């Protein structure tokens, strides 16, 4: 019989996750034994016999009664054989998001940049206009995301202003959400005024602490940049509410990641994380992955201990969204590869900015959208059929898969191990917050997801 539960020990608590019903349970020794035996395929009668010499009859009966109720209410999966359907992610949606590679020029010389070997070119206004027209083509009144990327996009502030003004001229601005990914070195009063006026979300790329950052991110004449960026960020600290740091982790920087997480917390700086996909400095073997997983665990332990002491602290940025535990609202894609486009400087179109410049992944050109394939990356994830984490992982980042396995729908063993570890910690943190800090969880996920009728958690440790 196929198993349907996984078990985690975290910060002194034991949790079970039923990945078919997507419920999390906190356990004591008795309820762990009951669920574990049930998960192994034992019947209720067999469980009673197996545990008779370990627990008293009253305790066993009480735990079994609770198990039966949860099975009847489909909160815990039954032993009935269910078909293990092929797991596919195939969507055909309207375009909801657009990334504009405004330029592949940059004023930095980062050592792992995927843009640095391209010819220096800027996007034309005509391409911007056609790209925006495509984004709003369906006129469905849904919010649309426009991301300005590069290169260093702030080298082309005029193109950012052109794009925003064109959207305003067409009365689409109420539907538009803007973001910029930047190295942060070019912030000035004019740029910050544009950001404020248009509520542009800004993501500043930082590799970690000063030593690590200055090793990887230098100017064209190899000068360090950490102090420059931090001075700029402090100068415009009033924009913290729409600003975050994007921390790129490599196997060389992983040892300092915990310290940088604490640095951002201590300085009230929002942090997000990206794992570099690179065969040389990325995580392409289990030893490298194990080191990162251990750091993840240390950060999560630090987080929960801080929460228990009622300290202000941000969620570890490598966790999956808690929404992924809610079947009715979670995404059917790891990222929206089938409802977004990235437009390169020459008008070539890709599903993701990471593939820009690779001719194998061009899905068309903005000058000839009639030839586009509307489903440009079908993800046949039958490779993931037997994995307990598939409904949350969803096959992971297709670019990471491609770099490490040569196939967008398959990852190597090391990458799978890292993704499953992140999901385990997401489930454990969710369960721990439910048990130990429910008010904190309510503030994170909101009242609608915290409601007793929607919460994906049940305490089974007090039976």
Average pLDDT over residues 94-115: 85
What gap in Å lies between CA 413 and CA 400, rounded to an integer?
Answer: 12
Q: Are strands 23-27 and 13-18 parallel, antiparallel or unpaired?
A: antiparallel
**Model pLDDT, residue 384:** 86
pLDDT interval class at 7 (50, 70, 90): very high
Q: Write down the domain spans for the chain.
A: 5-84+434-460
**Model pLDDT, residue 207:** 87
**Model pLDDT, residue 91:** 47
Check whether 307 has a pLDDT greater than 70. Answer: yes
What gap in Å lies between CA 367 and CA 54, rounded to an integer?
Answer: 72
Give the bridge partners for 348, in sequence order: 365
Sequence-ordered list of residues with C-beta below 8 angstroms from that of 265, at least 6 positions apart, any chain:
312, 313, 314
| Helix residue ranges per DSSP H, 12-124 | 29-39, 44-51, 57-72
| Token reading at 218 | 């230098």
What gap in Å lies between CA 176 and CA 171, rounded to an integer?
Answer: 10
pLDDT in tens, 215-253: 889 999 999 999 999 999 888 888 877 889 999 888 888
**Model pLDDT, residue 117:** 61
Question: Which range, of 79-88, 158-167, 346-355, averages the lowest pLDDT?
Answer: 79-88
Q: What is the pTM of this model?
A: 0.91
Mean pLDDT of the chain: 89
**Model pLDDT, residue 90:** 46
CA angle 274, 277, 283 (to 5 degrees): 90
Check whether 457 has a pLDDT greater than 80. Answer: yes
Closest CA to 118 of 361, 345, 403, 362: 345
What gap in Å lies between CA 438 and CA 447, rounded to an integer?
Answer: 11
Sequence-ordered list of residues with C-beta below 8 angstroms from that of 190, at least 6 positions apart, any chain:
157
3-class SS of residue 112: coil
pLDDT in tens, 257-302: 999 999 999 988 899 998 888 777 788 889 999 999 999 999 999 9
Average pLDDT over residues 300-307: 97
pLDDT in tens, 381-398: 778 888 999 999 988 888
What gap in Å lies between CA 76 and CA 71, rounded to an integer?
Answer: 5
Average pLDDT over residues 389-416: 89
Higher pLDDT, 95 or 344: 344
pLDDT in tens, 179-192: 999 999 999 999 99
Check whether 1 has a pLDDT greater than 70. Answer: no
Check whether 146 has a pLDDT greater than 90. Answer: yes
- State the helix-helix crossing angle for 157-169 and 125-135, rounded to 10 degrees: 40
**Model pLDDT, residue 81:** 62
**Model pLDDT, residue 282:** 82
Check whether 115 has a pLDDT greater than 80. Answer: no
Higher pLDDT, 139 or 53: 53
């Amino acid at each position: 019989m196929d198993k349907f539960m996984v078990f985690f020990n975290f910060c002194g608590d034991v949790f079970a996750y039923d990945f078919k019903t997507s419920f999390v349970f906190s356990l004591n020794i008795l309820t762990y034994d009951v669920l574990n035996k049930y998960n192994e395929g034992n019947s209720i009668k067999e469980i009673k016999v197996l545990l008779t010499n370990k627990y008293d009859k009253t305790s066993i009966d009480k735990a079994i009664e609770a198990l039966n109720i949860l099975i009847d209410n489909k909160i815990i999966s039954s032993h009935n054989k269910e078909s293990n359907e092929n797991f596919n992610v195939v969507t055909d949606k309207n375009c909801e998001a657009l990334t504009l590679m405004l330029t592949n020029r940059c004023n930095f010389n980062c050592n792992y940049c995927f843009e640095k070997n391209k010819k220096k070119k800027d996007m034309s206004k005509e391409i911007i206009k056609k790209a925006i027209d495509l984004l709003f083509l369906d006129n469905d009144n849904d919010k649309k995301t426009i991301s300005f990327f590069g290169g260093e996009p702030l080298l082309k502030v005029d193109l950012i202003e052109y794009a925003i003004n064109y959207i305003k001229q067409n009365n689409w601005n109420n539907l538009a959400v803007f973001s910029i990914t930047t190295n942060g070195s070019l912030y000035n009063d004019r740029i910050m005024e544009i950001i404020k006026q248009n509520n542009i979300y800004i993501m500043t790329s930082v590799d970690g602490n000063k030593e690590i950052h200055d090793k990887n991110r230098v100017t064209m004449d190899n000068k360090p940049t950490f102090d420059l960026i931090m001075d700029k960020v402090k100068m415009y600290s009033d924009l913290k509410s729409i600003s975050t740091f994007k921390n790129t982790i490599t196997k060389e920087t992983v040892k300092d990641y915990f310290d940088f997480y604490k640095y951002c917390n201590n300085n009230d700086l929002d942090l997000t994380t990206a794992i570099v996909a690179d065969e040389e400095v990325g995580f392409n073997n289990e030893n490298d992955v194990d080191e990162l997983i251990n750091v993840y665990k240390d950060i999560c332990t630090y987080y929960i201990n801080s929460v228990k002491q009622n300290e202000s602290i941000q969620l570890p940025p490598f966790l999956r969204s808690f929404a992924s535990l809610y079947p009715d609202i979670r995404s059917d894609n790891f990222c929206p590869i089938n409802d977004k486009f990235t437009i390169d400087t020459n008008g070539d179109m890709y599903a993701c900015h990471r593939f820009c410049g690779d001719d194998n992944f061009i899905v068309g050109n903005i000058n000839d959208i009639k030839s586009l394939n509307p489903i440009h990356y079908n993800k046949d994830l039958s490779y993931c059929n037997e994995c307990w984490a598939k409904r949350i992982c969803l096959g992971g980042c297709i670019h990471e898969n491609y770099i490490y396995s040569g196939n967008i729908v398959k990852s190597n063993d090391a990458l799978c191990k890292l993704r499953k570890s992140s999901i385990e910690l997401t489930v454990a943190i969710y369960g721990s917050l439910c048990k130990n800090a429910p008010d904190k969880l309510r503030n994170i996920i909101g009242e609608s997801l915290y409601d007793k009728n929607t919460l994906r958690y049940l305490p089974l440790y007090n039976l």
